[in-house]
Amino acid sequence: MSTIIELLKTISAKNKLYLTTGIVCFFGLIWLYIDYHSPTGTTLCPIKHVTGYPCPSCGTTRSVKSLLDGDIMQAIMINPLGLLVSILAIGIIVLMLIDLIFQKDYFFRAYRWIEHTLQKQRLLSIILILFILLNWIWNIKKGL
């Protein structure tokens, strides 16, 4: 275990971002695959299983599934975050592939720009947090 920790200390921040994002994308695709092929009505959300209440992002996977089936309105009604997650996921994967193929760092620079913007523009951060909270309330109200 200490060898892994020592190895991680030698990896640059840029490479850690690419590695972490790649792992998250990989498991996200596995999660989507499992959900896409699971029976209708089942939920994989651990928070909902434990508490009985949906998490702020509950329904996002089902929303993405509706997008993959071509039903944009259904996707938005299930959870508008699904549309946002789909756009971000495609953008991230495309940028990472471009960076890998052409030895660039567009994704890293975009990540740093977004991080800097959210730190400087507190109002934007507050709006995003409020959007998540309103989405969560909506998820609870509609009995997701």
pLDDT of 40 > 70? The answer is no
Instruction: Give the pLDDT confidence score for residue 11 in this predicted structure.
Output: 75
pLDDT band at 7 (very low <50, low <70, confident <90, very high): low
Q: What is the pLDDT of residues 16-26, one digit of tens each?
A: 899 999 999 88
Mean pLDDT calculated for residue range 51-63: 86
The chain-wide mean pLDDT, for the chain, equals 86
The reported pTM is 0.75
Largest CA distance in the chain: 49
Dihedral (CA of 79, 82, 85, 87) sign: negative
The span from the CA of 114 to the CA of 35, in Å, is 30
Q: What is the pLDDT of residues 65-79, one digit of tens each?
A: 889 889 999 999 989
